[in-house]
C-alpha cells in the first residue's frame, strides 16, 4: 500500500463567521465545534491512518498559529508550506505534491480543508480506505457527501450509477432551490466536499495537461523556496505569476480520471453561523450557546458570548459578542455578514483583520485603552519567548510587570523586573523584552507619543524572521 500523506489546507479568512473569524485569526484556528480548534480536529481525524507528518499549506501571517496549535496536541512536526499570497486550491495542492515528492516518494495525498466538521471520524477513515485502491491506480478521487436537504449553498457532483468509487459525470455550480430539489430526488447528485485522495504525480500530470501555467509557476516557486526550520516559503515573485484557480476548475472538471466516493460521515463545511448552529449541541428549545448565555422564551437561536448575554423572547437569531464587536442577525440572513465585512474593509477598520487581543509568536497583546497621544496594552509573553530587539521613532513606552519575570534590554543595559516593578523606554532607545521564567509573563505597557501605529517599529534582531 502506498504512503498516505495528509495535506491540510489552512488558507482563507472565513469572513462569513465574523466577528469571531478575522483575517489574522480565521475560523480554522478557532474551537468552533468542540474543545479543539478546527485545524487540530482535522489532524486528529486523520492521525490514526497517516503514515507521515502532515504537510500544511498556509499563509505567511498564520505560520506560528499552525505550528503552535499542532504542537499543543502532540502532532508530528509538520512541513508548513507558506504561500506569500492566496492563489486558491489548485496551486496550493500542487505545491504540496511537489513537497511530498521532494524525497523521491510518490505518496497518496489526502487533501483536507482544515475548517470542516466531520461528526463520524471512524466512517471518514473507512471512506479513505475504500477510496485508496482507485487513487493508487491513478484516479483523482473526491468525496461526495450524500445530501440531506436541497441545499443551495453547495456545489454538486453527478456520479455514474453503481456502488463505491464511481466515475464523475459532471460538476455543477450552486443551484437554485428547484434544481437542488431535483438533485436530491434523483439520488445521483452529491455535495462537493472539497476533499480529495490522489497520487501526487498523477495530480501534477493532469495539472500540467490542463493548466500548464499553474504547474510551471508553482514548480518555479517551490524550486526556489527558502527553508526556515519547519517553514518552507514559496518564492514570492514566482508564486505571484501563478494564475488563481480551484482544483475543480483547473483539473477535476476536465480530467477523465475524476472519480467520486459517496459518503455520509456527518460532514459540514461550517460556512456560516446557521451551519454552525446545525452542528452544535442544542437545548430543548433548539438554542445552541457558547459562553455565559441566558435564554428566556427563545428558540432555535445561536449565541456565542465572551461576556454575559441574555436572549429574551427571540427566535431564529444569531448573537455573537466579542471584546470589540457584536453581531445580531436573523439566522436566515447570516450570509449577508460578508457585506458587513466588505463595509469594514472599505472603511479600513481594524476589526476586519484583528481581534482586540492580537496574537504574536511570542504571546499576545490586548489593547485595553487608547486616546489622543496614549495607548494602554496588556502584554503576555510565553515562557522562554522574547520580542525582537527594536526601537520606535515616535513613541515612548512604560512597562509595569503584573506577573512573572521580565528581562529587559534597554540600549546597553540588561536587567530583570518582577511584579510591581517598572521600566521606562525612551523614544529611540533600542529595547527588548524577554521572559526567562517558567510561567507566562504579564505586564501593562503604556505608550505615549504623537503616533502609536504598529508600523513604527525598527527591528534589529528577531528570532522569528521578521527583520
The secondary structure of 226-267 as a DSSP string is EEETTEEE--HHHHHTSPP--HIIIIITT-TTEEEEEE-S-E
Residues in the chain: 467
Q: DSSP string spanning 328-370?
A: EEEGGGGGGHHHHHHHHHHTT-GGGT--SEEEETTEEEEEEEE
Positive/negative CA dihedral, 162, 165, 170, 172: positive
Nearest to 200 by CA among 108, 136, 111: 108
Place of cell 466536499: 193
Report the pLDDT value the prediction gives residue 4, as an integer from 0 to 100.
Answer: 97
Q: Partners of 446 in the beta sheet? A: 376, 398
Q: Which domains does the chain have, with CATH numbers?
A: 4-268 (3.90.550.10), 280-342 (no CATH), 357-461 (2.60.120.10)
Beta strands in 115-178 (DSSP E): 117-118, 140-145, 156-159, 166-172
DSSP H helix total and E strand total for the chain = 11, 30
* pLDDT less than 50: residues of the chain: none
For residues 328 and 308, give the distance between their C-alpha atoms in angstroms, rounded to a whole number. 15
Task: Please tell me whether the peptide bond between 116 and the residue prior to it is cis, using omega within 30 degrees of 0.
Answer: no
Residue 35 grid coordinates: 474543545
The model's pLDDT over 358-367, given as tens digits with 9 standing for 90+, comes to 999 999 999 9
User: Which pLDDT does position 62 carry in this prediction?
Assistant: 93
- The percentage of the chain sitting over the pLDDT mark of 70, rounded to a whole number, equals 100
Question: All 3 cell numbers of residue 238?
Answer: 514566482
Crossing angle between the packed helical segments 63-72 and 38-47, to the nearest 10 degrees: 50
Residue 157: count other Cβ atoms within 10 Å of its Cβ.
26
Total-model pTM: 0.90
pLDDT at position 403, please?
Answer: 97
C-alpha 241 chain-centroid distance: 24
Phi, psi values for residue 327, rounded to 5°: -110, 130
Element (H, E) at 390: strand 389-391
Sheet containing 317-321: give its strands across: 288-290, 302-305, 317-321, 326-330
Those residues whose C-beta lies under 8 Å from the C-beta of residue 447, and which sit 6 or more positions away, are 374, 375, 376, 377, 395, 396, 397
Task: Please report the pLDDT score of residue 464 as a whole number.
Answer: 84
- The CB-side HSE value for 25 (13 A sphere, CA atoms) comes to 18
CA distance 3 to 151: 36
Asked if 29 contacts 65 with a C-beta cutoff of 8 angstroms, the reply is yes
pLDDT at 153: 84
Backbone phi and psi for residue 228, each to the nearest 5 degrees, phi listed first: -135, 85
Q: Looking up cell 448575554, which residue turns up?
A: 309
> What pLDDT does 286 receive?
98
pLDDT value of position 228: 86
φ, ψ (nearest 5 deg) of residue 176: -80, 175
Q: Please state, in angstroms and rounded to a whole number, the distance separating the CA atoms of residues 373 and 384.
A: 32
Please give the grid coordinates belonging to residue 455: 508600523
State residue 25's pLDDT score: 93
d(CA 78, CA 8): 10
Taking only the tens place, the pLDDT of each residue in 150-196 is: 988 889 999 999 899 999 999 998 888 899 998 898 889 999 999 99
pLDDT in tens, 412-422: 999 999 999 99
Q: Report the alpha-carbon distance of residue 344 to residue 329 in Å, rounded.
A: 17
Amino acid at each position: 500500500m502506498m504512503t498516505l500523506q495528509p495535506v491540510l489546507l489552512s488558507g482563507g479568512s472565513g469572513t462569513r463567521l465574523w466577528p469571531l473569524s478575522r483575517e489574522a485569526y480565521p475560523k480554522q484556528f478557532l474551537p468552533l465545534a468542540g474543545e479543539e480548534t478546527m485545524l487540530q480536529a482535522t489532524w486528529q481525524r486523520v492521525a490514526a491512518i497517516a503514515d507521515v507528518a502532515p504537510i500544511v499549506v498556509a499563509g505567511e501571517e498564520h505560520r506560528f498559529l499552525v505550528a503552535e496549535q499542532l504542537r499543543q496536541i502532540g502532532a508530528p512536526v509538520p512541513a508548513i508550506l507558506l504561500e506569500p499570497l492566496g492563489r486558491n486550491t489548485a496551486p496550493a495542492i500542487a505545491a504540496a505534491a511537489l513537497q511530498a515528492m521532494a524525497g523521491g516518494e510518490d505518496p497518496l495525498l489526502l487533501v483536507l480543508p482544515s475548517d470542516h466538521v466531520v461528526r463520524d471520524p471512524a466512517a471518514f477513515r473507512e471512506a479513505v480506505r475504500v477510496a485508496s485502491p482507485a487513487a493508487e491506480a491513478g484516479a483523482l478521487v473526491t468525496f461526495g457527501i450524500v445530501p440531506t436537504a436541497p441545499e443551495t449553498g453547495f456545489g454538486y457532483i453527478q456520479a455514474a450509477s453503481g456502488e463505491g468509487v464511481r466515475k464523475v459525470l459532471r460538476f455543477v455550480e450552486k443551484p437554485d432551490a428547484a434544481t437542488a430539489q431535483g438533485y436530491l430526488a434523483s439520488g445521483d447528485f452529491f455535495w462537493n466536499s472539497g476533499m480529495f485522495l490522489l497520487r501526487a504525480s498523477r495530480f501534477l500530470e493532469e495539472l500540467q495537461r490542463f493548466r500548464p501555467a499553474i504547474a510551471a509557476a508553482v514548480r518555479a516557486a517551490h524550486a526556489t523556496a527558502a527553508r526556515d526550520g519547519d517553514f518552507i516559503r514559496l518564492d514570492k515573485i514566482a508564486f505571484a505569476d501563478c494564475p488563481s484557480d480551484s482544483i475543480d476548475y483547473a483539473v477535476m472538471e476536465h480530467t477523465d480520471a475524476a472519480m467520486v466516493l459517496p459518503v455520509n460521515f456527518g460532514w459540514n463545511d461550517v460556512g456560516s453561523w446557521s451551519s454552525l448552529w446545525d452542528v452544535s449541541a442544542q437545548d430543548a428549545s433548539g438554542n445552541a450557546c457558547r459562553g455565559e448565555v441566558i435564554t428566556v422564551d427563545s428558540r432555535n437561536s445561536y449565541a456565542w458570548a465572551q461576556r454575559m448575554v441574555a436572549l429574551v423572547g427571540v427566535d431564529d437569531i444569531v448573537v455573537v459578542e466579542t471584546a470589540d464587536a457584536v453581531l445580531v442577525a436573523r439566522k436566515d440572513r447570516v450570509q449577508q455578514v460578508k457585506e458587513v465585512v466588505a463595509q469594514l474593509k472599505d472603511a479600513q477598520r481594524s476589526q476586519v483583520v484583528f481581534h482586540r487581543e492580537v496574537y504574536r509568536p511570542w504571546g499576545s497583546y490586548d489593547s485595553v485603552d487608547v486616546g489622543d497621544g496614549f495607548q494602554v496594552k496588556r502584554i503576555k509573553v510565553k515562557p522562554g519567548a522574547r520580542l525582537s530587539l527594536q526601537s520606535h521613532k515616535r513613541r515612548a513606552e512604560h512597562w509595569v510587570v503584573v506577573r512573572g519575570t521580565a528581562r529587559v534590554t534597554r540600549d546597553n543595559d540588561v536587567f530583570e523586573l518582577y511584579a510591581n516593578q517598572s521600566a521606562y523606554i525612551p523614544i529611540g532607545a533600542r529595547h527588548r523584552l524577554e521572559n526567562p521564567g517558567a510561567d507566562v509573563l504579564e505586564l501593562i505597557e503604556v505608550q505615549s507619543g504623537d503616533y502609536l501605529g504598529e508600523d513604527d517599529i525598527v527591528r534589529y534582531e528577531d528570532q522569528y524572521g521578521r527583520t
